[in-house]
Amino acid sequence: MSMTLLEKILASHSKFDSVCPGQIVDIEIDIRAARDFGGASVVKNIRDHGLSVEDAEKTLFTFDCNPTGSDQKYAVNQHICRLFARENGINVHDIDAGIGTHIMIDQGYVVPGSTAVSTDSHANILGAVGAFGQGMGDMDIAAAWNKGKIWFKVPQSVKINCKGDPGKDISAKDFILNLLKIFGANTLLGYSIELYGICIEKMTLDERITISSMATEMGAIIILFPPSEEVISYCRQHSKRSFIPVYADADAIYEKTIDLSVDEFVPLISRPGEPHDAVDIKTVLGTKIDSAFIGSCTNGRMEDMQRTAAILEGRKVAPGVILKIVPATDLIWKKCLDEGLLEIFKRAGALVSNAGCAGCAAGQVGQNGQGEITISTGNRNFPGKQGKGSVYLASPEIVAASAIAGHITIPGSIPSKPSEFKVTEKAVSPGRTISHKRDTSQKPSVIEGKIWLVQKDNIDTDMIFHNKYLAITEIKEMGQYTFDNLKGYEDFAKKAGAGDIVVAGKNFGSGSSRQQAVDCFISLGISGIIAESFGAIYERNAINAAFPIIICKSLNDLDLVDGDEVKVNLKSGEIINRRNGKTTKAEPFSEVQYEIYLCGGLLA
């Protein structure tokens, strides 16, 4: 049977000779990692359920969310992981190492054709080397550590043929922002994307990493690059494992084949709030900024550092503007030192930190305050993700040029005199209180409850459960923070009652892999969530936690209004609006989902 690139990787790690879309298979996981914030919860799951670690050599901790150890709760969680690692012979890439997914590539853990999972929602960055990487929640990772494998639903694949030449002015970041502009956050939701074309073949490893790292922001399972000779050579130099690169069959069947004229791509910037809200940079030129950030798993590679240095050399960051630069790994940091880049950064007035995720994670350099306008090379600019201010997303070249100018600009238009600094202010949002936890001892096939009609698409995990609360591991403490970063629903936790049901739009739960974004609803006693579609990782986390999520693409048939009571049959998919008697059909629970639901969770 002919297969796509991802199908061939999954099949080679399963008991089957071939796999097809929609098939649920157990796949062997070559590398199983947990980060500092998710790691403590993984340890807790393993200890609470009396589990063991199947293969310590394939198991890793990577401390990249808070490498400074500056937050007490993070420091405690990191130490929990260290102690567990000592007990079980697990390798720890500690706070001096850098971003875990980059370490997996640069230190040869992952090679073309291999599989890896992590508590990092950007583990699909490994598609850059033609490997399967997936971010998963705490239960999934605990199960993978214990069994060496995990269930996975084979996704549909999309083939994108990139025709033409994007030109020298189009960076890898511009390339992925153009894809985001075209496809948005949910057009390719749940798909595996394969990129082809002459321009794709020529891309360096660093460029491929930038593009693959934003598959999550597109709602995709992964963006896969067929490995080039350069990538194969790099992986062979850095890995002790022998491997044979995997490629799609010539007659592989794709759900969609899309031709793109990449020579029409232009430099883009994402406006604050949504990564896919990408616009021609000309529309925002001159916008005053307070700070700039260069780094993250998207743009913290050596090529990014070199391009940044080329623009900063001999120049100064604008007065009042803060430029923060964070290399992705300690190896890159050392190369910056050896090549004199750190001196260029410091002479320009930049703050350079030790390697890590930085601005994407709470408690590190790159966070901004209320009213602050930041231009960043990160992959996310959801409200609250990089702080309380507003965040534009752009390439390292544009961010560096803007830091010098004091306003958003392009490298060829840096003024001789920077913009003057102005201050803005915002109000502080109030705190929350804890509601009651529901009784989860009963597992009915039918759920009923009053609905909260949240008529929004792309509600991400930072809106559901903000990253500043990620150190919380007790479910009973999580409910009070539910939706407190979703505009218009900040008081949800105070008003929601046990048994209520949330009804939302497309791509609910997009963004990070955090289990807390599911557990906070369990903490409040919410009966379930009905939405047109869910983020791939969120869907897994909910299923694994035995929390009912229902996919329904025909919600309009119910003529719902806020406060209606609905009845949902989980096995048949039938939904009834008790107010008007109208019905519709949702996707019934799959056999796997229903089995996990009845058991009370994946690890029960």
CATH number of the domain enclosing 230: 3.30.499.10
Task: Tell me the average pLDDT across 517-546.
Answer: 96
Residue 543: which residues within 8 A CB-CB, separation 6 or more?
549, 592, 593, 596, 597, 602
Please say whether the beta carbons of 524 and 438 come within 8 A.
yes
Considering the domain architecture, whether residues 35 and 169 belong to the same structural domain is answered as yes
DSSP, res 225: -
Considering the domain architecture, whether residues 233 and 149 belong to the same structural domain is answered as yes
In a domain, 426, yes or no: no
DSSP, res 49: T
pLDDT band at 361 (very low <50, low <70, confident <90, very high): low
Residue 123 CA: distances (Å) to CA of 62, 178, 213, 252, 337: 12, 22, 8, 25, 28
For residue 432, what pLDDT is reported? 36
For residue 254, what pLDDT is reported? 97
Considering the domain architecture, whether residues 257 and 295 belong to the same structural domain is answered as no
For residue 441, what pLDDT is reported? 52
In a domain, 319, yes or no: yes
Closest to 209 (Cα-Cα) out of 223, 197, 196: 223
Closest to 457 (Cα-Cα) out of 228, 198, 293, 276: 276
Residue 51 CA: distances (Å) to CA of 43, 147, 215, 433: 10, 9, 32, 34
Considering the domain architecture, whether residues 347 and 395 belong to the same structural domain is answered as yes
In a domain, 430, yes or no: no
At residue 118, φ and ψ (nearest 5 deg) are -155, 160
At residue 168, φ and ψ (nearest 5 deg) are -70, -25
Residue 414 has pLDDT above 50, yes or no: yes
For residue 74, what pLDDT is reported? 77
In a domain, 132, yes or no: yes
Please say whether the beta carbons of 593 and 601 come within 8 A.
no
Say which CATH number the domain at 563 has: 3.20.19.10
* DSSP state string for 547-574: --EEE-S-GGGG---TT-EEEEETTT-E
Domain count across the chain: 3
Task: Tell me the average pLDDT across 472-489.
Answer: 93
Q: Which tokens sit at 7? A: 């199908």
The per-type count for the chain, helices as H runs and strands as E runs, is: 19, 25
Share of the chain above pLDDT 90, in %: 83
Residue 138 has pLDDT above 60, yes or no: yes
In sign, the C-alpha dihedral spanning 579, 581, 587, 593 is: positive
Considering the domain architecture, whether residues 487 and 566 belong to the same structural domain is answered as yes
In a domain, 271, yes or no: no
Residue 3 CA: distances (Å) to CA of 130, 142, 204, 273, 522: 15, 30, 26, 37, 39
CA–CA distance, 85 with 101 (Å, rounded to integer): 19
Residue ranges making up the domain that contains 207: 5-264
Considering the domain architecture, whether residues 66 and 115 belong to the same structural domain is answered as yes
Kindly report which listed range (135-139, 180-184, 431-435) carries the lowest average pLDDT score.
431-435
Q: Tens digits of per-residue pLDDT, 366-404?
A: 778 888 999 999 888 877 777 788 999 999 999 999 999
Q: Tens digits of per-residue pLDDT, 7-47?
A: 999 999 999 999 999 999 999 999 999 988 789 999 999 99
Q: Which of 362, 389, 413 marks a domain boundary? A: 413
CA 595-598-604 angle, 5° bins: 90
Considering the domain architecture, whether residues 310 and 162 belong to the same structural domain is answered as no
CA–CA distance, 201 with 388 (Å, rounded to integer): 39
Considering the domain architecture, whether residues 259 and 287 belong to the same structural domain is answered as no
In a domain, 244, yes or no: yes
Q: Tens digits of per-residue pLDDT, 416-467?
A: 999 875 555 554 444 433 333 444 456 899 999 999 999 999 999 999 999 8
Burial of residue 344 (CB within 10 Å: 0-12, 13-18, 19+) is: buried
For residue 425, what pLDDT is reported? 53
For residue 433, what pLDDT is reported? 37
Residue 40: which residues within 8 A CB-CB, separation 6 or more?
76, 77, 78, 80, 81, 473
Considering the domain architecture, whether residues 256 and 292 belong to the same structural domain is answered as no
Q: Which of 396, 413, 430 marks a domain boundary? A: 413
* DSSP state string for 386-416: SBSSEEEE--HHHHHHHHHHTBS--GGG--S
In a domain, 371, yes or no: yes
Considering the domain architecture, whether residues 24 and 58 belong to the same structural domain is answered as yes
Residue 217 CA: distances (Å) to CA of 121, 183, 256, 298, 509: 10, 10, 19, 12, 11
Residue 413 has pLDDT above 90, yes or no: yes
Considering the domain architecture, whether residues 32 and 180 belong to the same structural domain is answered as yes
Q: Which tokens sit at 183? A: 């496809």
CA–CA distance, 175 with 160 (Å, rounded to integer): 13
Task: Tell me the average pLDDT across 557-567.
Answer: 96
Q: Which amino acid is at 130?
A: G
In a domain, 423, yes or no: no
Considering the domain architecture, whether residues 300 and 249 belong to the same structural domain is answered as no
CA–CA distance, 571 with 549 (Å, rounded to integer): 12
